[in-house]
Structure formats: C-alpha cells, structure tokens
A and B are shown apart, each in its own frame.
Chain A
Amino acid sequence: MPFREVIKNFELVRSRIRDFYIYGFKRDGSDVRIAGKSKRSDSDERYRIESWLGDYLKYHVDDSGKSYFLSIDSRNGEHNPLFRVWKTSSFTDGDIVMHFFLMDILLGCEEISFRDLVDELSDYLDCDESTIRKKLKEYEQEGIVNKTLKGKTAYYSRGFWELDRVQEVTGSEKFEDILDYYSEVAPVGVIGSFIMDKIPEKDESNFSFKHHFINQTVDSDVLLTLFDCINNKKAAVVKRYRHKFGDTNELELIPLRLYCSSSTGRQYMMCMNTGSRKIEPLRIDYVLSVKPGDICDRYDEYKETLNRIQNSIWGISVGNMKETRHVTFTVEYSDKETYILQRLSREKRSGTVTVIDDNHARFDADVYDPVELFPWIRTFICRITSVDFGDDNITKRFVDDIRAMEAMYE
C-alpha cells in the first residue's frame, strides 16, 4: 500500500508525536531512544510527520545514524504547528465531492426536501440514497446541516451559524485577532485554528507567546471528553498509563477541575476517586482513552471537597488529604535586590511572606505535599538562609541535594 499522509486513526500518531518529537526521546523501560532512531515499522509515521511538520523537523547524525527531533521555538510568533496534526483525517473520494456539492446546493436555497436533494446531487456524483442520508445525519450532528420535518417529509438547510454572520457581528479584524490569540492560549485551541482556516488570507499573527507550551495540543480530544463529563456531572471511564509502575490501568473517576501549569505546560484533571475516596490528579497526557460514565449524584459534594482543600495544594499533590505540613524558608537580599521580595510575593501560590528586616524575608505555608516546593525554593539558591519542610527527613533531602550540587561542580 502506498504511503498516504492522511490517516484514519489519530491515536496511532498521538503517542508517536509526543514520545519522539515533543520530548525528543522515547523512554522504553530502561532503554532511552532518541527521536528517529526507530524500528523500520515506525518509518511510515515518521514520513507522515515529516510531511506535516517538515519545517520543524531537524536531525543530527552520530555513529548509529540519523536522529530526528522536533524543535519548535514558541516565541517566534507563528501559530502552533501541532494544530496541523489534527487536520490530517482521511476521507473517501465520495466524501469530499459530496461535501462541496451538498454545501453548495444548500447555499442556493432556503431549504430542500430529501428527494430533491438526492436528485440534485445525482447530477454530480454517483451514490446511493443511504450514503446521502448517512452523511446528512453526520452533518446534522456536527451542526452544519439542519433537518426539519414537515409532515413526513424531511427538509434540509444549512446550519444556523454562518461564519460571515459571526464575523460581521464581531467585526472582521477583531474576530481574526480573537481567534489568533485564543487558539494559542485557550483550552482545545485547535478548534479556534479550525475556524481560522475558514477565513481566507489570514496568515500572520499579531501575537507571540512566552512560556508557551504547545505539547498538550495532541491531548485535545481527551480534554474535550473530560469537560463534557464536568458539564454533565458524569464519571469518566479512563484508561491511563501509570509511570510509577510502567503499566496501564482502567478506572472510573469523577473529573472536577483542570489544573494547568504555566511553567511546564502539564495539565492534570483533579478527580475524585470514589474507590479510595481521595482527590487524585489525572495527568492528561498519560490518558490513553476516556469515555463518559454514569451521572454522579454526589458531584457537587466532591467539588466542594476540592474547593475546601485547594489552598493547601501547592501543585497537584494532595498527600494523604488529612494533614498538612508547615513549610518555611528565609532568604536574604541586598539593598539593591529588593526584587527578591517582589518575586516571593508574586510567585507564592499560597501562604504568607513576612519581611523580617531590610535584608531578610520569610515565607510560610501549610501544604499537603512539601516536596512539591523543592523546585521553587531551589530557584532562590544563593540566598536561602534557613529552611524547614515540617519533616526532618524531607528537610535533610533538600539540604543534602544542595551538597550534592556542590560536589557535582567540584
């Protein structure tokens, strides 16, 4: 079978994009493979990705051959290139021909009966009534076709939301700027990109983005299903990868709120695990599949539980959800380094900052998982005068690691 750049199943490419091209490597047990050093069977996927994202695909050569990796600088002011991956769905010759004629016929009339529609379509393409009926039903579900019944006769018309109407109400330039910006920053931004594609001649972006993470783009369908569960107060039946155990498991969770990191781009759905009766972060990029489950009668109660403990969660870990630990550290700064005090105040997510004197300030917080503060406190290395994580072992781990850093550079 010849190579085709369009695909039927998105799941096949999702993990491939992430493992080899976003991270630039694939971890397989203890074996780490750098992008592109893959088996022959992987080559079709690589050719496809080259075809979609060739401008961003780079490689280096060493003794074992060529290694490909995807290198994207998100500050360049270009639209997220990974959106292209969502625009690769395959279709039949009949699908594309019927699509354009169907939309064209409906544009030329207020409404049309099924019989007349079949007659008109038959002038251009050869297909049976059941195929047309199936396509109309599909388009009705997508919202681009309306069906009304007059007696026993079905009439069809174009969907209610014509793009030019929305553009006109908003103002063309404004509407394009809105899409330009929100397709990059809003969840499931690829949908904004789909709208932008229907506006001819819109190329250059007026925006660029710093601290911008595009990797979650490939998880957009997972996120959509989880949002659907939240909207309908439903459980989600999730199959996920478990990094700790290197395996997969399937379970039912109640999705409550999406937690996003602006520092790493990671997304977690905070869920209630009704089995363990604990709030549990579900890492979105580890979800292999998800489908809506049953309506959850205690949904509001679980949401309230999350609201109640929210201030004690530094990142996404809730520990045992019973006891918090008091974390405190002190930093020193010179008279010219008062921006350190500003950093503490703006970067703290909870807790308090107390000015001790002109050159010292202290941070205090009560959190479920003190280890989650390690990375942030380390950013103050060179000025931490004291630190206590409310647990001697955890404090020792932090201090020992600074000693290890010292030894590493000796």
Chain B
Amino acid sequence: MSNLFSELYSSYYNAVAAILRQASTKGSVSAKEINDLTMKYAFRESIMEIPAALSDGTWNLLEDGESKLMHAPTMPLTTLQVRWLKSILSDPRIDLFLEDDNLKDLLGDVEPLWKREDIRVYDCFANGDYYEDANYRSNWRSILRAINEKRAVNVYFISNKNKEHHMYVMPERLEYSEKNDKFRLLGVTSRGNVIINVSNIVRVELLPEEFVITGADTFVRRMREVVVSIPLDDVSNTLERIMLNFAHYEKEAVVEGDKCLLTIRYDLPDETEVLIGILSFGSRVKVEAPVDFVKLVKERISRQIEVADFFP
C-alpha cells in the first residue's frame, strides 16, 4: 500500500512547483512572486523557509530567478490517485458529471481502492434525488455550467404549493447534503437569496453572458446562535457525542464549573433541524439561551407530556 503521508503531496513541493512553473512560463520569477506563491500554496510560517532555501542554493533549483529545469514541473498521477479516481467512478452521482464513458474506459483495468458495496451510509434519508432522470441531469449540468461561466439562468420550478414558477437566478453554488442525498441550487435574485431543490426544477435556461440581474448581490447567510449546557460528569459521553453531532457547525466550547457551555452558530432556516437535533439528546443537554429557543423547547416538552398515553 502506497504512503498517504508523503512529501510528494506536501504543500512545500506544491509551492516549489508553482514557483518553478512561474519561472518557466515567464522566464524568471521575482523575490516578491516567490513570497506570494509560497503564501498561496504553503503555510503561514513557510515564508521563513522556502524563499531562503531557493535563494541561497540549499535547494539548487533556481539561479537569479531562472529555473534550472528544462520544462515546467509536472508529476504523473500516483497509483493511489488513479485507484481513488477509479473508486469514485462506481458512485451513482458520477454520471451527473460525465456524459461519456471516456474516463471509465481509460481506467478500465485499474483496481479501485474500494467498491460501492463496501460502504453503507446507514442514516441517510430515503427520498434522495433521482440521479438517473435525464431531465434532472440536464438541469444539474446547466446549473453547473452557469456557475463555471458566471452566467445567470432562468429557472422553472415546482413550489411547495405544487405550482410552477420561474425565476431569474445568478447561481453561486450547488449545495449537496449527504443526509438528505439532495442537491440544492444556492443563488441570488433581484430580491435576495434563493435556495431551490434541484429535484423541484423543471427546466433551466442558460441566459446570455451580458444578462444582468439588477440588484442581485452575493448569497448572504442569516445566522443565529444557541447555547446549550452539558454536564462534565456525564457517564454516557454526551459531550463527545454532541461535539460530533454538531461538528459541521461553527461552535465554541467553554467550561464553566461542572458543565460545558457550547455555543452553536446555525443558519436561521435550519432552526427546526437544530432544535430537534438538541432534543435527540434528551435530558443530557439543556438549552440555556436565547430565551425564545428555550421557550420552543419547553413548549415541545409540555405538549409531549399532554399528548402521551404513557404518563400517569
């Protein structure tokens, strides 16, 4: 098995390759360009090492800013990289990207790192997108093309009230949720942000490059915070479980006496999801703030006591 932690993949090698590439393409590379490329491709402290090693000849690859190589540096793919590519070809979503079998044919005899049957996502929702649908694929590809080309689209979609609408959208990103197994279009309109499930889209028209949506700004997220407390003497390891459960949110933990206070930042539209996520921990986790969030939890618990037939 090849080595995953190898200098071949290191940021230092990538930064030096970028510097040598620049020197090959432009004839030479200046000290400022070396610093800029180091900052871009390596780490914060790399500026102390890479430029010095190149200029004092410790790494004898440049002379007066000119590359000593005959060619711009490139490296073939490693076996590990090719096997990884082969593995992802077994994913059903790959055909959203690929419109022919050229890559599949090219990697025909390569042994994958894993097979599709080797993996089971045991808690994703059952109503994921239908990737085999030709219209879905066509719409998905049009959106991705529009994002790549920074072009606006006219999107026809079915609303929650089951009515067809259309909207001029400047698409920013395709958002994927593994839990929902769904893609969503994130974009902006003249009225602000818009999020549309790709599965609800009927048709996408790519608009000409010069088409401008007046008033469309960038996608702005509306964020809120909730503070929960978890006892530190908790035997069921709730602290670790909640940290993992909310690992994908921006969060901050502070120890206060015998409990940990955890602040979670979330998108306002996801409030219900965060609320039921916290409820799923039962009495191990208490919402401390804000007041309106605490009220929501209290209401749900009170109503639960009322509706259940299992409380005396």
Chain A residues within CB distance 8 Å of chain B: 3, 5-6, 10, 22-25, 27, 30, 32, 34-35, 50-52, 54, 58, 60, 62, 67, 69, 71-75, 77, 84, 86-91, 93, 95-97, 99-101, 103-104, 107-108, 124-125, 141-144, 158-164, 166, 169-170, 173-174, 177-178, 181-182, 185-188, 190-192, 194-195, 197-198, 200, 205-215, 220-221, 224-225, 227-228, 230-231, 243, 257-266, 292, 310, 313, 315-316, 332, 342, 345-349, 374-376, 378-379, 381-387, 395, 399, 401-406, 408-409
Given contacts A52-B43, A210-B175, contact A386 B310 (CB under 8 A): yes
Interface-lining segment among B26-34, B78-86, B131-139, B209-217: B78-86
Q: Is the CB of B254 within 8 A of A62?
A: yes
Q: With contacts A169-B106, A186-B91, A214-B247 known, what are 19 further pairs, Cβ within 8 A?
A: A3-B45, A32-B260, A88-B43, A99-B13, A124-B60, A142-B79, A142-B80, A143-B80, A144-B75, A144-B78, A161-B77, A211-B248, A258-B120, A262-B121, A262-B124, A345-B126, A381-B301, A399-B310, A402-B304
Closest A residue to B71 by beta carbon equals A107
Nearest neighbor of B119 in chain A, beta-carbon distance: A258
Smallest CB separation, A233 vs chain B (Å): 12
**B9 — which chain A residues lie within 8 A by C-beta?**
86-87, 89, 194, 197
CB pair A73 B265 closer than 8 Å: yes
Interface size class of B (residues with CB under 8 A): 35 or more
- By a CB distance below 8 angstroms, the chain B residues around A382 are 299-301, 303-304, 307
> Chain A interface secondary structure, helix, strand, loop or mixed?
mixed
Distance of B83 from chain A, by nearest CB (Å): 8
Most buried by B among A50, A197, A257: A197
Docked complex Cα distance between A104 and B250 (Å): 44
Give chain B's interface residues, CB within 8 Å of chain A. 1-14, 16-18, 20-21, 41, 43-46, 49, 53, 58-61, 68-71, 73-82, 84-85, 87-88, 91, 93-94, 97-98, 102-103, 106, 111, 113-114, 117-127, 144, 147-148, 172-180, 184, 186, 221, 232-233, 237, 239-241, 243-245, 247-255, 260, 265, 267, 276-277, 279-283, 286, 294, 297-305, 307-311
In Å, the complex CA distance between A73 and B270 comes to 14
**CB neighbours of A84 from chain B (8 A):** 11, 43
